[in-house]
């Protein structure tokens, strides 16, 4: 049996992805799965402390449960941002210790923080001191640059755990801070799932969630023999209907999985509400381009829902036009 088969709400989650996992994406994913744990995009402490808090933190109960991922490295700033996250109703505060982008490096946070485990511990403690109702978690890589030794990530987790962090989301690749783009950092450093497995063996009291290159629910199930949770990334975004089977398979739900047509109907209703609020239609449809992935005619669906001229018209009949490209499945002879 998988570890913690009932106790972890993060048995399956969708990764925080910049420019992708916004509130519209989360609403769409929630139409597919009621239980999959969802994350915001990374929000920097500066954006919350000096920017428009509502723009960054507002979400609806229809999206819940949702975790807020923060980017920062100053304990006091992170504590203030975490308190805001708790006040706005998020179910988890997550610290990003895995992003390798140059912008994040200039801010001395993200994957850079793995080199400073005691600072991360201080950040976690500062957040936990002010956040009392939800967990503070950490998402990290297994190494930085040419550091390949398992002892590096083991010691990082051990140090941060002493500050009271009990949930670690392990992107099972190194972060290469110089020479690779963020996209290349997701693809080139080799995956070492066994490092995440070893962390669970070495710290059985901690909740270990594995992330990186997982493309099917069968793969997720195999990982759950070794760790407590699986985080899906780009596969969940590009092939979102994958999430429709998560509730039954991993959370014991008796609800029938929604059909693509039912998901589309829910999305259209959401679009109608958002259009009335002045939302640009394309801000929503871009997240649903993969709904019919693998279905004949899906290219036409994507093309129509990406047409800027049609989207600017804010006419929901665009869905009828997109759907017309999808061919009916062949009839099975009786």
> Of the residues 97, 99, 123, 165, which is catalytic?
99
pLDDT in tens, 159-213: 999 999 999 999 999 998 888 888 888 888 899 999 999 999 999 999 999 999 9
Q: How is residue 128 written in tokens?
A: 């936990």
Q: How many domains does the chain fold into?
A: 2
Residues 246, 107: one domain? yes
Residues 226, 298: one domain? no
pTM confidence score: 0.93
Residues 137, 210: one domain? yes
Strands 229-232 and 12-14: parallel
Amino acid 110: pLDDT: 83
Residues 271, 307: one domain? yes
Question: Would you say residue 329 lies in a domain?
Answer: no
Is 213 annotated as belonging to a binding site? yes
Q: Which domain holds residue 205?
A: 12-251
d(CA 189, CA 235): 18
d(CA 142, CA 52): 34
Mean pLDDT per segment of 10 residues, for the chain of length 334 residues? 61 97 98 98 96 96 97 96 98 94 70 94 98 97 94 98 98 89 86 98 98 98 98 98 97 96 98 97 98 95 97 97 78 42
Task: Please list the residues that pair with 209 across neighbouring strands.
Answer: 169, 229
Residue 127 · residue 93 · CB < 8 Å: yes
Residues 130, 278: one domain? no
Amino acid 256: pLDDT: 95
Residues 229, 98: one domain? yes
Residue 99 is a catalytic residue: yes
Task: Please list the residues that pair with 101 across neighbouring strands.
Answer: none
Residue 78 · residue 72 · CB < 8 Å: yes
Residues 151, 75: one domain? yes
Residue 251 · residue 11 · CB < 8 Å: yes
Residues 158, 275: one domain? no
d(CA 48, CA 55): 9
Residues 27, 173: one domain? yes
Q: What is the largest CA-CA distance in the chain?
A: 68
Helix (H) / strand (E) element for 103: namely helix 102-106
The alpha carbon of 69 is separated from its chain's Cα centroid by a whole number of angstroms, namely: 9
CATH of the domain at 144: 3.20.20.70
Is 229 annotated as belonging to a binding site? no
Residue 12 · residue 37 · CB < 8 Å: yes
155: left (phi over 0), alpha (psi -120 to 50) or beta: alpha
Question: Would you say residue 56 lies in a domain?
Answer: yes
Question: Would you say residue 225 lies in a domain?
Answer: yes
Is 233 annotated as belonging to a binding site? yes
Q: How is residue 133 written in tokens?
A: 């109702």
pLDDT in tens, 122-161: 999 999 999 999 999 999 999 999 999 999 999 999 999 9
DSSP assignment, residue 328?
Answer: P
Is 171 annotated as belonging to a binding site? yes
Residues 152, 273: one domain? no
Amino acid 185: pLDDT: 85
Residue 266 has, within 13 A of its CA and on its CB side, a CA count of 19
Is 87 annotated as belonging to a binding site? no
Chosen domain end from 251, 274, 299: 251
3-class secondary-structure state, position 46: helix
**Does the bond joining 300 to the residue before it have cis omega, within 30 degrees of 0?**
no
Question: Would you say residue 333 lies in a domain?
Answer: no
Amino acid 104: pLDDT: 67
Residues 319, 222: one domain? no
Is 258 annotated as belonging to a binding site? no
Amino acid 107: pLDDT: 63
Instruction: For tokens 């209907």, name the residue.
Output: 241
Report the b/e string of 150-174 with b at 16+ CB within 10 A: eebbbebbbbbbebebebbbbbbbb
Chosen domain end from 251, 277, 311: 251
Instruction: For tokens 């941060």, name the residue.
Output: 160
Residues 275, 204: one domain? no
DSSP assignment, residue 174?
Answer: E
Question: Would you say residue 6 lies in a domain?
Answer: no
Chosen domain end from 191, 224, 251: 251
CATH of the domain at 317: 1.20.120
């Amino acid at each position: 049996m998988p570890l913690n088969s009932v106790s972890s709400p993060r048995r399956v989650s969708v990764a925080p992805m910049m420019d992708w996992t916004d509130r519209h994406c989360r609403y769409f994913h929630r139409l597919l799965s009621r239980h999959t744990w969802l994350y915001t995009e990374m929000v920097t402490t500066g954006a919350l402390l000096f920017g428009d808090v509502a723009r960054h933190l507002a979400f609806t109960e229809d999206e819940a449960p949702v975790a807020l991922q923060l980017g920062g490295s100053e304990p006091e700033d992170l504590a203030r941002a975490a308190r805001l996250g708790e006040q706005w109703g998020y179910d988890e505060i997550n610290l990003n210790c895995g992003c390798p982008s140059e912008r994040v490096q200039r801010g001395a946070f993200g994957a850079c923080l793995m080199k400073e485990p005691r600072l991360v511990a201080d950040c976690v403690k500062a957040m936990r001191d002010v956040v009392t109702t939800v967990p503070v978690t950490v998402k990290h890589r297994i190494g930085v640059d040419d550091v390949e030794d398992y002892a590096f990530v083991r010691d990082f987790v051990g140090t941060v755990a002493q500050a009271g962090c009990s949930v670690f989301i392990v992107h099972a690749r190194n972060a290469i801070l110089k020479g690779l783009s963020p996209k290349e950092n997701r693809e080139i450093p080799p995956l070492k799932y066994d490092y995440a497995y070893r962390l669970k063996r070495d710290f059985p009291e901690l909740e270990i969630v594995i992330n990186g290159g997982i493309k099917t629910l069968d793969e997720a199930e195999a990982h759950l023999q070794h760790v407590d949770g699986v985080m899906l990334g780009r596969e969940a975004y590009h092939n979102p209907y994958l999430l429709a089977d998560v509730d039954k398979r991993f959370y014991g739900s008796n609800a029938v999985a929604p059909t693509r047509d039912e998901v589309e109907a829910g999305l259209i209703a959401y679009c109608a509400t958002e259009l009335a609020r002045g939302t640009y239609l394309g801000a929503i449809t871009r997240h649903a381009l993969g709904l019919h992935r693998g279905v004949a005619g899906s290219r036409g669906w994507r093309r129509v829902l990406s047409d800027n001229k049609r989207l600017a018209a804010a006419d929901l009949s665009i869905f009828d036009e997109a759907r017309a490209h999808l061919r009916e499945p062949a009839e099975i002879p009786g």
